[in-house]
Amino acid sequence: MSRESEADTAGEAMLPGTLPESLRAELVAFRRDLHMHPELGNQEFRTTAAIKERLEKAGLKPRVLSSGTGLICDIGDWADGIPVLAMRADIDALPIPDTKTECAYRSTVPDRAHACGHDVHTTVVLGAGLVLADLNRQGLLPRPVRLIFQPAEEVLPGGAADAIEDGALDGVGRIIAVHCDPRVDAGLIGLRAGAITSACDRLEIALDGPGGHTARPHLTTDLVTAAARVVTDVPALVGRRVDTRAGLAVTWGRIDCGHAPNVIPQHAELSGTVRCLDIEAWRQAPDLVVAAIDEIANLHRAKSEINYVRGVPPVVNDADVTGLLREAMVARHGEESVEGTEQSLGGEDFSWYLERVPGAMARLGVRHPGERTVRDLHQGDFDADESAIKVGVELFTAAALLDAATRVA
């Protein structure tokens, strides 16, 4: 017997809650259906209905959030009042076209795609819920569990805040989640205690001046130069006004200024993101960035209007909950199934839950083992190795059982 097979056998012997083949096939089909029918944030009505229908079929009583999309579902008896473990999935898609050419389940909705793996996250939490519900019916679920299917993760500042306001964390003591990682082979997870993602805010700037002729820039506000200096000097200034270890970075994604080669324009627009690895520096970021923009704009006699859109703080994994995920994965698939992972500069609104309760997010490997091409997130050709669904389900069910074992009164 191979080492992997021995690990699987040992894990199954220790913990119930593995994924039956019949349910695995159903979950793959469920994920493909979601993939074919992606819905944007706060528009996930079909997705919500599909999740609700399957949970109700299992005898559960999900509650749709007051926004009309997303839902919460409790499994087990809450009578003892012990804070429970929550499992979170995000259910929205992205406003980009699905460019996969040879895929039977590619998106059927123009300019919409599950290019971030939220369909996988949703299927993992659904599958874990169905397995745990079956254990509960057998009297094998020691502590209740909450499933959170959250809308609008891709919409700043994220649907997590609305879900929390709607009671998603009431009675919750810990929360876990996974995020697809196309750099990690299916069958593996990546873990990191501490910050695993970056804070991310959005920045929109308008610069204005009287305009004029390029022959006489000294008589007006040279708005193109002003915009160019904002682009180059603001990141440099900000980088010198905060500890460099904080990783505070201003990066531009759009600049729109001028229409003719001999006309100094009256209006310029810039937009970009502010990312930060450190939560304290993130809290200072709006004042630092706005002050730097005003300083450069004033230097060039441009009037500035700044819209600083607060996004999400970093996801800071709790060490104990990260340890729980490690223990769960090792119990299922052995020591070699867990690897360390680096901090990402991507933003994730799972961070809002972690402002309230300890929790952790694991990176779920979705790369086909041996595949050299990395199908990156937020790209139209992104897809996942569907064997990752079973890995995620069994990670979560093991985590629920092990978490309960540590909380026995």
Measured CA distances, 403 to 75, 101, 174, 271, 396 (Å): 15, 43, 9, 44, 10
Question: Cα–Cα distance between 37 and 180 in angstroms, integer?
Answer: 19
Question: Cα–Cα distance between 131 and 149 in angstroms, integer?
Answer: 16
Q: Please choose, from the candidates 125, 158, 120, the residue with its C-alpha nearest in 3D space to the C-alpha of residue 38.
A: 120
pLDDT category at 131 given cuts 50, 70, 90 is very high
Lowest mean pLDDT segment, chosen from 9-13, 146-150, 181-185, 308-312: 9-13
231 pLDDT exceeds 60? Answer: yes
This prediction's pTM = 0.89
Residue 227: how many CA atoms within 13 Å on its side-chain side? 23
Q: Please report, as a single letter, which amino acid is at residue 337.
A: S
pLDDT category at 12 given cuts 50, 70, 90 is very low
DSSP collapsed to 3 states, the chain = CCHHHHHHHHHHHHCCCCCCHHHHHHHHHHHHHHHHCCCCCCCCHHHHHHHHHHHHHCCCCCEECCCCCCEEEEECCCCCCCCEEEEEEECCCECCCCCCCCCCCCCCCCCCECCCCHHHHHHHHHHHHHHHHHHHHCCCCCCCEEEEEECCCCCCCCCHHHHHHCCCCCCEEEEEEEEEEEEEECCCEEECCEECCCEEEEEEEEEECCCEECCCHHHCCCHHHHHHHHHHHHHHHHHCCCCHHHCCEEEEEEEEECCCCCEECCEEEEEEEEEECCHHHHHHHHHHHHHHHHHHHHHCCCEEEEEEEEEECCCEECHHHHHHHHHHHHHHHCHHHEEECCCCCCCCCCHHHHCCCCEEEEEEEEECCCCCCCCCCCCCCCCCCCHHHHHHHHHHHHHHHHHHHCCCC
78 pLDDT exceeds 90? Answer: no
Q: What pLDDT sits at residue 14?
A: 64
For range 344-372, the mean pLDDT: 94
Q: What pLDDT sits at residue 7?
A: 44
Other CB atoms within a 10 A radius of the CB of residue 136 amount to 18
pLDDT category at 376 given cuts 50, 70, 90 is confident
pLDDT tens sequence across 244-284: 889 899 999 999 999 999 999 999 999 999 999 888 999 99
Pair type for strands 84-90 and 145-150 = parallel
For range 57-82, the mean pLDDT: 92
Q: What pLDDT sits at residue 15?
A: 83
Question: Cα–Cα distance between 76 and 83 in angstroms, integer?
Answer: 13
Q: What pLDDT sits at residue 2?
A: 41
Q: What pLDDT sits at residue 81?
A: 73
